[in-house]
Structure 1
Amino acid sequence: MSSLHFDSTVQAKLKEFADQASDLLGVLVGAGPSIAVGLPTWPVLVARLLALTGVTRDETAARDLMLSGQDVLLATEIALRSSPGNLKDILYEATYGTKDSDEAVRKFEPGPLHHELAEVATERGPGRVSLLTLNVDDLLEDALHQHHGVRFYSRDTARPRAPEGFYEIHHLHGLLSRDGTRKSDNFVFSLSHYNKLLQSRTAWQLSEFNQCLQRGPLLLVGTSYGDVDVRCWLDELYRADPTGLYGVYALLSRQGLRLTPAQFNRAKSFVRDRWSGSILLDCYADVTQALREVRHIEDVDYKPPMERIAEHWKAMESNFSLWQSHDAEKLESDYRGKLAGLLGKRSNVALWVVDSRGKLVRWAVSEKQYRAIAGLKRVPLTPESEFLAARAVCNDEFVGWAAHRGGSISSHWKSIVARPVYVHFPGGPRISLGAISAASATKISDAHTDAVSDELIDLAQAWGVRLAERFKGAPV
């Protein structure tokens, strides 16, 4: 279940990190934020490379090769040495799934974690944060530019450095900008790349790590700490100066590690023994929320996320009859706009809200009113849930499904879409409190699905404001 509960161990680690990071902070961004918006995992990327370079006939054969026990780094080495053309272009196509830079720019946009990292950076200013990334994409730069218009420099070599007053994003493994204007000469993809990098005592990446840990704590976001260079550098630096460096903290999610709940529970003790600064969470949304929470955790009126949610749910229970009637009528009004035409007959819109136990509750629907709170549907809040509303909350993004695309979600509904609803309660930052979903018994087209998604953006924002204002005591 989602770690919105943020137990005492998580809260203590977040507080410890906030204390250390009061002045300077380093952030190391792994693949997690980029994978969450559709960029390939490492195995998928390697499979694409093997197919593009002709080592295997296609990606399926490449995956079979790796499943047979082939080392991934060695497989990458073979692919790159077999490259029939421009290596930069092949790496670009493997990363973005296209040769067309316009398509790459359209297809991939910064996700919630990128935007939250941009918030962390801009709140501090360029002189008080170091941004390091293991990713070759430029989504973090895009997030900085989209929301804040700040000046930045993408560094992928020892020289040049960012001008004074610029944010500097250190691309430790190279850079492939989506628009195709920046393609590094020195990538870190294969076994020989890692070996060469680790043998160098003057690597700029190692120097940046050292300087970072001398100035403040290092926060690992979206990485399993599995990259061999990062692991070796950190171990080496702490052996050389065990007391003179700040701590390393890792925001690790079960979803990002691709573990089942049972596997994650078994792994927790090992992870905590290995990394004392590990902060173990359940899903991508938890990692994003942790970044929000840590910036408020020392406020005098701060309350943990689940405490804020519980207070809201208590108010909903106390006012069930009044609020249920109002919300069902309001959802019906929302539905009777453009949505009814897009969704077709036998369709509805529903509001889902997290309760005090961390379950996701279908609070109200457009087609009916519930008579008792005990009759509300409750589902586990997990990223693997069969309910798309739960997936939307846990992934912090729009989720859609249609029967004609394959898979099985519902025997009744043929098309379902959902968006998270963010609410700002007193005592902390905004939180993903639930979701707005739209379902249809008709197979709607992809174009209509996109149109429904756009409608849900406005609805989700409106309901977020509505729930917050009502909780503060404003009229329903």
Structure 2
Amino acid sequence: MSAPDLNAETMAQFRDAGVEQHSTILLGAGASITSGLPSWDEFATSLLIDSGAVDKRSAELLLARQDPIIAVEAARAADEATWKQRLRDALYKSVGTLASLSPSPLHLAAVGHYLERKDRRSLVTLNFDVLLETVLEDETKTVPIAVTNTDKRKGEHSVHHLHGIITPDETHDVVLTLNDFTTLLEKQDAWQVNYLRTAVTKGSLVIAGTSYRDPDLRQWLHAALKSKPKDHKAFVLLAREGFGVSKKDFGELEQALSSQWRAVGLHPVLMQDHTDAAQIIRELNHVNKKDYISPQERCRLIWESHVRNFEVLQQEYVGELSKNVEELKKCFKVETLDATIWISNGDGGLVRWASHDRIYRTLQALRVVETGHDSPWIAGQALAKDTEIIRDLSHHPTRRWKSVVAFPIPVAHPTLPLVSSAVLTIGLPKEKELYEGDSVNWAEVVGDIADEWTFRLYEGVYSGEGA
């Protein structure tokens, strides 16, 4: 399952849930891990090792056998004087600077949702980074305010950081170790709990990208939800990607996961990938419209249009892909490559619809592959991650291509958000290392070609005879 498979039943949960009155989006680590920042365990491991408290093996043993917020106390105790600097080093050492980070689909979706109706939308995060602020500044050309305490600073746009901020240059109000959490929880009137209480009173709360293991968040929400009106829901978006389990195992856990979250007063929405949560957030401003149809239904409109016009579109798409190949050979500086269009069938599968060098005669000849962040197919991964990727292919004596570039193709709707409904893949004759360093010469060309396919798919369904 990827964003194209979010069905009417899933999206109906957000209707009449307080979203229209007000919605607060709360992002956890899942948003920033996708951008390249370390997971909580990776961050804690770096702190323990870099402080000299323990070696790598001992750090792994500590984190495997006890709560990480206790384990990192050892890192802090090793040298309190340099603690803030070591926090910055551990968070950013693998990426260098903020400029080298790309906001994730969750960051982009949350800011997009906020900007559509900023008078009735709020942004909150458990993360230390300022990627939400980066997106806001890019979109609005104004400098947003990062709120970390009870100060009364106001700006046109604000992001509330419940656990403080760490940038490559500054550290403010960080909540990380057991002592930090304990001290904060002793405050009966902490600004964080008051903020969350206000959020659920005004409308809905949507939590995404967090495992909910922070003790303060649990206590704050327990207190805040007591004052929540019955028709205001607090959602937690649970992606299989965040649990690191297989589809089979996740299926076996679904009932227990739903039960445990409902027991603590939250409404669970289960999905496969972090980007599914991003698509849900993009949909929130539309779910109460009378003419609303789910991402899955929109993708099925595209698929059914292709099925109805199979023979015509086979010829047309092969011709267009052949033109694309000539452009792509120049920018990749190769004599041969493969270009293929894959289309979601809105039923959990991604269909290899057309390649530049062949025409399929029947629907039955089309290959269907699974989608997801852990799909064995690169096209399936690109659709699930909703971002361009480049991967090496495993060696096989009959395989012509050594690596693949995959670009998701978002398709618009006349009144509803974009949904990535197709993928363009480019098979290349050498390993990815040869092309990664030269991306400045091909990324824009591939992006322009993907944009052309975006428009072509839209036109085929929503204008002319395809409407």
Fold-level similarity (TM above 0.5):
yes
Question: Given the alignment, which residue of 260, 279, 297 partners 2:246?
Answer: 260
Which whole-Å deviations, capped at 9, do the CAs of 1:359-408 have from their partners, x for residues lacking one? Answer: 101111122222222111110112111211111110111111136xxxx4
Q: Is the 8 A contact 2:325 2:337 kept in 1?
A: no
Q: Which amino acid aligns with 1:251?
A: L
Could you say which structure has the greater relative contact order, defined with CA pairs below 8 angstroms and 6 or more residues apart? 2
Question: Given the alignment, which residue of 182, 192, 198 partners 1:195?
Answer: 182
1:84 Cα deviation (Å)?
A: 6.6
Q: 298-307 or 443-452: which moved more?
A: 443-452
Q: Is the 8 A contact 1:329 1:366 kept in 2?
A: yes
Percent identical among aligned pairs is 27
1:335 corresponds to:
325
Q: Which amino acid aligns with 1:10?
A: T
Question: Given the alignment, which residue of 202, 224, 236 partners 2:211?
Answer: 224
**TM-aligned CA distance change 1:360 to 1:219, over 3 Å:** same
Q: Is the 8 A contact 1:345 1:440 kept in 2?
A: no
**Runs of 4+ displaced beyond 6 Å:** none
Question: Given the alignment, which residue of 197, 205, 213 partners 1:210?
Answer: 197
1:442 aligns with 2:439: no
- Taking the TM superposition and a 5 Å limit, the aligned residue runs for 1:39-78 are 39-58=37-56, 62-67=59-64, 69-78=65-74
1:410 Cα deviation (Å)?
A: 6.7
**TM-aligned CA distance change 1:104 to 1:409, over 3 Å:** farther
Q: Is the 8 A contact 1:285 1:393 kept in 2?
A: no
1:381 corresponds to:
371
Q: 301-310 or 385-394: which moved more?
A: 301-310
Q: Is the 8 A contact 1:339 1:455 kept in 2?
A: no
Question: Given the alignment, which residue of 138, 144, 148 partners 2:140?
Answer: 148
1:123 corresponds to:
116
Task: State TM-score, norm by structure 2.
Answer: 0.91
| 3-state DSSP of counterpart to 2:166 | coil
- Taking the TM superposition and a 5 Å limit, the aligned residue runs for 1:286-435 are 286-340=276-330, 342=332, 344-402=334-392, 408=394, 412=399, 413-426=401-414, 428-435=416-423
Supply the distance in 2 between the matched residues of 1:361 and 1:283 (Cα, whole angstroms).
19
2:269 corresponds to:
279
Question: Given the alignment, which residue of 241, 256, 269 partners 1:270?
Answer: 256
1:143 Cα deviation (Å)?
A: 0.8
Supply the distance in 2 between the matched residues of 1:468 and 1:80 (Cα, whole angstroms).
55
Supply the distance in 1 between the matched residues of 2:314 and 2:81 (Cα, whole angstroms).
63
Q: Is the 8 A contact 1:345 1:442 kept in 2?
A: no
1:261 Cα deviation (Å)?
A: 1.3
Supply the distance in 1 between the matched residues of 2:195 and 2:295 (Cα, whole angstroms).
34
Which whole-Å deviations, capped at 9, do the CAs of 1:214-256 have from their partners, x for residues lacking one? Answer: 22221112222222111111113335x4657943111221112
Q: Is the 8 A contact 2:3 2:279 kept in 1?
A: no
The aligned length equals: 458
1:189 Cα deviation (Å)?
A: 0.8
| 3-state DSSP of counterpart to 1:14 | coil
1:138 corresponds to:
130
Supply the distance in 1 between the matched residues of 2:332 and 2:99 (Cα, whole angstroms).
24
Question: Given the alignment, which residue of 101, 106, 117 partners 2:99?
Answer: 106
1:7 Cα deviation (Å)?
A: 4.0
1:290 Cα deviation (Å)?
A: 0.9
1:249 aligns with 2:265: no
Q: Is the 8 A contact 1:354 1:433 kept in 2?
A: yes
Supply the distance in 2 between the matched residues of 1:63 and 1:436 (Cα, whole angstroms).
40
Q: Which amino acid aligns with 2:128?
A: V
Supply the distance in 1 between the matched residues of 2:442 and 2:60 (Cα, whole angstroms).
36
Q: Is the 8 A contact 2:3 2:384 kept in 1?
A: no
Q: Is the 8 A contact 1:418 1:456 kept in 2?
A: no
Q: Is the 8 A contact 2:12 2:287 kept in 1?
A: no
Q: Which amino acid aligns with 2:113?
A: V
Q: Is the 8 A contact 2:275 2:384 kept in 1?
A: yes
Task: State TM-score, norm by structure 1.
Answer: 0.89
Q: Which amino acid aligns with 2:175?
A: V
Q: Is the 8 A contact 2:2 2:371 kept in 1?
A: yes
2:455 corresponds to:
465
1:472 Cα deviation (Å)?
A: 2.6
Supply the distance in 1 between the matched residues of 2:439 and 2:160 (Cα, whole angstroms).
38
| 3-state DSSP of counterpart to 1:15 | coil
| 3-state DSSP of counterpart to 1:220 | strand
Supply the distance in 2 between the matched residues of 1:431 and 1:3 (Cα, whole angstroms).
7
Supply the distance in 1 between the matched residues of 2:415 and 2:116 (Cα, whole angstroms).
19
| 3-state DSSP of counterpart to 1:142 | helix
Structure 2 segments unaligned to the other structure (5+ residues): none
| 3-state DSSP of counterpart to 1:86 | helix
**TM-aligned CA distance change 1:151 to 1:325, over 3 Å:** same
| 3-state DSSP of counterpart to 1:214 | helix
Supply the distance in 1 between the matched residues of 2:379 and 2:148 (Cα, whole angstroms).
40
1:170 Cα deviation (Å)?
A: 1.0
Which whole-Å deviations, capped at 9, do the CAs of 1:234-284 have from their partners, x for residues lacking one? Answer: 113335x46579431112211123232122222222232233411111112
Which whole-Å deviations, capped at 9, do the CAs of 1:406-452 have from their partners, x for residues lacking one? Answer: xx487723211111100013463211101111111322512235644
Supply the distance in 1 between the matched residues of 2:298 and 2:9 (Cα, whole angstroms).
18
1:36 aligns with 2:27: no
Q: Which amino acid aligns with 1:32?
A: G
Question: Given the alignment, which residue of 221, 229, 235 partners 1:234?
Answer: 221
Supply the distance in 2 between the matched residues of 1:343 and 1:350 (Cα, whole angstroms).
19
Which whole-Å deviations, capped at 9, do the CAs of 1:30-66 have from their partners, x for residues lacking one? Answer: 11111111111111111111111012334x6533442
Q: Which amino acid aligns with 1:441?
A: P
